[in-house]
Amino acid sequence: MGIESLQTVRVYRNLLKAVKKHIGTEESKRHFTDFITQEFRKTLDPSQKINLASDYTYMLNSIHHHKDLLFSYNIAVDRSEEMTRTLRKSAASVGLQLPDVYQA
């Protein structure tokens, strides 16, 4: 196997892992992996195939990372309890207690 073939296999595996992780492996979503397999079996320019697959893998991982960040920064959620917990930890780290005003 040449270097280009090894790179193609690595990119193909990374793409399938990303699809399985972020999209799923249910039967209703099987068409995603089937399409990827068909595209990799076509005789396209290998460098074009590798670039396209690695770009798609990067995009798929980035979209889901961005989605996770949005959920973690969700402004609609009441953050007062989390803020109180953070203030208690900060105060406790220097040996103090929060005043009653900040106690829940």
Q: Is the pTM of this model over 0.75?
A: no
Using DSSP, state whether 44 is helix, strand or coil: coil
- CB proximity list for 58: less than 8 A, separation 6 or greater: none
Using DSSP, state whether 4 is helix, strand or coil: helix
**CA 58 – CA 61 distance, rounded (Å):** 5
Q: What is the pLDDT of residue 44?
A: 62
Using DSSP, state whether 24 is helix, strand or coil: coil
Q: What is the pLDDT of residue 101?
A: 64
* pLDDT at position 14 over 80: yes
Q: What is the pLDDT of residue 56?
A: 85
Share of the chain above pLDDT 70, in %: 86
For 56-75, the pLDDT digits (tens) are: 888 888 988 888 787 777 75
**CA 77 – CA 24 distance, rounded (Å):** 28
- CB proximity list for 46: less than 8 A, separation 6 or greater: 4, 8
